[in-house]
Amino acid sequence: MILAMFCLWISGFGFVFRDSLFTHDESKPELSAAEREEVQNKKNSKRKEMADRLKAVLDDANTPQDVSSDAKPLSNETEVQKSAQDKSVILRTGWVSIIGPGGRQMAKLQAALMGNGWIAMPTRALYGGSQWTVSRDDGSTAEIASGIWNKGRVVSLWQLASFTEHEGEASLAQWVADAPLAWMSIESQKEILDIQLMPGSRQGYFVVCPLPLDIKEFGVFIQQESIVGWSFGAWLDNVYLWNGPVGSRIVANSDVRNFYDQTFANGREEKFALALSMKANNSSLERLKALVDGFSRQPKLPLNDTPDFLRVDVVGKLLKQLAEELIHQGQGAQLVDILNDDILREIGDIKLLLDLIPVITSTQGIEPAIIKLETLGKDLVEKGGVDVPAVNELHLKLYQDWLQSLVTVKSLVEAAQVLAKAKAYYPNDPYVHLLGVELALLNGDWQGAERLISMMEYPAAMQDRYELLARKISELKGDEGTVVIRFVAGSNRIPVTSELNQSIRQSFLVDTGASLVTIPSATAESLGLRPVRGGHWDSHSVSTAGGVISATEVLIETLEIEGWVENNVSALVIDIPDQPGVGLLGMNYLSRFRMDLNTREGKLSLRPK
């Protein structure tokens, strides 16, 4: 008998709801008061018709008119007649706006308003809001003041600061496991009756159950005339059923200010929000500093709960845009000072670092820029998990420029050190390789240069450089065993430096008109040289531009130029007017060689006889 009655009830339910269960009118916050009233009247009429038809079916079947709550279709801002008790249940809804720093709307969501002004909301929707306002469907507004919230709970219960009780308004009640349960959307008119939920677990005042597949919207779960649970659409994937105190026994344990302080204040997300709320009249530098202040703070929110516009990757894009503006404005030096390694590592954008490297090169030098790429750049590439060819290209270019600058100024020791580093990274780079050849030539090692230059093939763009170095190698190879003195091309002044008696460096001018070598008196004294004969310092008379002078002849034991040593070279001790400290390299030395003077190339070759 019971089974037959149940089947009859199901048949009647299907008949009654076949054309009215899934209506499409919605309570939209943008409707005017008149439009809302018209929509409400239509829904009330439809619901009244639905209730009457259900009552008629039940009467015909001789079933009791005590229709359980799981067979009552409910709707936003609507009254549903209960056939047995003849009283109305009113469900009121509203839009909750969560307002954060600078008046920015952090979130906006629909909610069902219960008796005594209580609202259940997903906690993650509330983060960053210092002011929470409810706009009711009737056009009135109210602030949310306090509520029941415990850290780590994904759903919390909050109460309006001011509210008016309405007769028949749906109140909050505890969920009863074995009582009929219905669900109603507050986004649309979708309703599901006689819901069977999977077993759940208790979390604080809530019993959490898996969400049925056909429930995807904000809605409430109804037992008798009361709200006993919620679904939260895309915000949460579960059903949250109330298992806590009700009525006057509900006591708030927090307020909006406390919630904000614990979840948002002084954290990274708040600093980001404040920076994003800065007005257009703030300079790019001021806005960038504000964002950097955020990156220097620890986050307070879990990543999954962080609003999209406050995520590091999104804020990092804005910071990069501001950095590009500052570089374009010529404020790159300030930018480099602000964006230290810790901040850049936190931002994690290798492209931002690549934008900064030219600025670091121009303000601090090539070496600091290379070090930045080899340390921070490496970390950022590894963090990104993807190789970035532009990093290697810039790294190589910096090494090429650094090495070229050292070779140009003939800083041979430092150039050799940089060459070794560059070779460790780029052993097959032809430009670096040719710089190594040039460095060998500067060190006088034509054999090493010849060996190096033949080890690699060079692209067409480097053929001119290759041929120039090859000619230099050939020249040095041909000058083997020859003293080569180089001077300014086209000049008639040929300076050369030699070492006397393996102890003193002496500057000379090549003078084919001088019969003997001359040295200054200070050099003779430093070497402790004595007159060659007679013990007199005036044993020679010498004609000079200033007249005839007396000069003493001495003997230099060794005179070395470019690695070539000549022994027992006679010299006169003369201080040349207007040439202090300079001697003349005369014919008594030069005649020991076959001379080849090429003033066009600035080269004097002395080949021993």
Nearest to 81 by CA among 43, 115, 119, 112: 43
Task: Tell the residue number behind the tokens 């496991």, with chain if given.
Answer: 177
Asked whether residue 17 carries a pLDDT value surpassing 70, the answer given is: no
CATH number for region 398-478: 1.25.40
When pLDDT is cut at 50, 70 and 90, the band that residue 40 belongs to is low
CA–CA separation, 20 vs 37, rounded Å? 20
Residue 41 pLDDT class (50, 70, 90 cuts): low
% of the chain surpassing 90 pLDDT: 67
% of the chain surpassing 70 pLDDT: 83
Residues 125 and 205: their CA atoms lie apart, in Å, by 19
Q: Which CATH architecture has domain 484-608?
A: Beta Barrel (2.40)
pLDDT over 90 (residue 378): yes
Q: Are 253 and 150 in contact (CB under 8 A)?
A: yes
CA distance 460 to 433: 15
DSSP at 282: S
Q: Which residue has the higher pLDDT, 445 or 166?
A: 445
Q: Please say if the pLDDT value at position 173 is more than 50.
A: yes
**Mean pLDDT for the chain?**
84
Q: What is the pLDDT of residue 29?
A: 44
Q: Please write down the HEC assignment for all residues of 21-60.
A: CCCCCCCCCCCCHHHHHHHHHHHHHHHHHHHHHHHHHHHH
Q: Where are the domains of the chain?
A: 266-387, 398-478, 484-608
Higher pLDDT, 83 or 176: 176
pLDDT at residue 469 in the model:
94
More confident residue, 216 or 49: 216
Check if the beta carbon of residue 195 is closer than 8 Å to that of residue 264. no
Strand 547-561, strand 495-500: pairing: antiparallel
Prediction pTM value: 0.61
Checking if the pLDDT of 236 tops 50, the result is: yes
pLDDT at 418 over 90: yes
In the chain, the amino acid numbered 232 is F
As a whole number of angstroms, the distance between CA 177 and CA 353 comes to 59
C-alpha separations of 520 from 121, 445, 502, 569 in Å: 99, 33, 17, 15
Amino acid at 396: L
pLDDT of res. 225: 86
What pLDDT, in 10s, does the model give residues 259-301?
Answer: 999 999 999 999 999 999 998 788 999 999 999 999 999 999 9
Q: What is the dihedral of CA 339, 343, 347, 348, to 10 degrees?
A: 100
Type of residue numbered 605: S
Q: What residues contact 128, with CB distance under 8 A and at least 6 apart?
A: 98, 100, 101, 106, 260, 264, 269, 270, 273, 307, 310
Q: At which residue do the structure tokens 């500067």 appear?
A: 442
CA gap 287, 313 in Å, rounded: 17
Residue closest to 403 by CA, chosen among 417, 390, 387: 417
Q: Do domains 398-478 and 484-608 have the same CATH topology?
A: no
Q: What is the mean pLDDT of residues 211-235?
A: 94
- Strands of the 483-486 sheet, one edge to the other: 483-486, 603-608, 593-598
CB 338: neighbour CB atoms within 10 A? 15
pLDDT tens digits for range 380-410: 999 888 888 999 999 999 999 999 999 999 9
Residues 232-254, mean pLDDT to the nearest whole number: 94
